[in-house]
Chains A and B, each alone.
Chain A
Amino acid sequence: MRVEYINPFVEAAFNVLREVLQSDVRRGELYLKSTSTPVMGVAAIVGLAGDVEGRVLFDMDRPTALQIASTMNGEELATLDDLVKATITELANMITAQAVTKLHDLGFRFDLTPPAIFTGDNMEVSNSDVEALIVPMETVHGKIEINVAIRERA
């Protein structure tokens, strides 16, 4: 993945999370991964097109998703209902959109696809021929792993 793409995603994730959660967010060590990734329970995915092809996956466990959705909505949400899913989808959209805006400013043309959300147990994402950058984010509600796989259009 091009070096120029890394920072916009890290910054966008950091800024958006800190803003919507109104609390401290800590970024873990970035690393690369190409094996299939187990999904913690709730995964929102946003596709990227344009100069590049790829996707961004936001992965967290259920309690984290519920608490983040509760904080963002300002009410206590106990079940993973449509509102929670819509909220997490929106969070994914906000972070990716802000990253893409930053990339636009740097001269890269990216388009987004509408986000989709997956929930369930024992899920796994397998596209092992694609190398993904993992950006772990520690929030007060738990860990969110942002899994960015982008490659140049050949």
Chain B
Amino acid sequence: MQFDLSETQQLLAKTARQFLAAECPMPEVRRILETPTAHDASLHRKMAGQGWTGIAIPEDLGGMGLGMIELAATFEQLGRALVPGAFFSTVALAAPLLATAEQLAPLCDGSQTATAAFIEAEADWNPASWQCAARDNQLTGAKMFVPDAAEAAFLLAAARGNGTLGIYRIAKDAPGLEIIPLKSIDLTRRLYEVRFHNTPAEPIVTGPAAGHAIARALDIATLALTAEMAGGMARVLEITVEYAKARKQFDTPIGKFQAVQHMCADMYLWSESSKSAVYYAAYALDKNLPEAASALSVAKLYAADAYREIGNRAIQVHGGMGFTWENDVHLYYRRAKAGETMLGDNVFHRERLAKLVVDRL
């Protein structure tokens, strides 16, 4: 029994951490998030060069053929470095919906980015609520909170044709495609409203298979998001502890005061607990265990609360400095808040758990 990354997985994570420290340090994050789409194509290609764009995609489809644990270990590092841009949308949202080498090749080699559009005006992650219509391979309707839509070479959208849900591919330059930027709290991951006005779309998967494909893709996306959260919160804890050791008041490092120290201890408890939950979710999804779905909801709602609360404490420990633009903590805090509602907020995941666990007891 080993409840931790294997040596190979640890090496993968270490390499990723070193790569990102060199290629995407915080000044670079701040530069990129000032660009119109908060994306840097050159960085994205370099990450593709590491194989990360195809990390959990089988080798015969152009990927590295690794599993969910490696995917989680990589996203943990991306979250730690707060890497901005469309990598998450491409790898965690869009790619898991695709199934052929031809579709996946431009994503794996880093030449294209993509995103996926699910929720609509009600912002409900239950697929039954999605109403966007597909008729004669044309889409009509609107999708909300679509990440990185303006950067994506193509979008994948969930839409209903003859009443059943399917996934459709829409090219960036398709007629009748309207992409409206939203100004949202997370500066590193831009959100958009996407409107379809009889927009030509290519069906990717329809019928009963579509439901499974969507569920699987959302599972993978949720895992990637929670892994990012675990990495981000661990970094916020580090930054905060460093500050509590260095900052002096009353001629004493503030970290000596129990009021401050105990906040840091709570942050540690939440951070380590999130890591346990995320690694287990990765394991359960990797092995296709029956409890994978509940493990993902547990990880999502625990990590979402943890990341936000760690952000709250981090800002409090930093005092006035924590309230400034120049301090990095708010950039993570913004990401934490956005992640909390992405892929289903805690009310959604608790009700999902109630169905998965409570109703079955």
| Genuine A/B complex | no
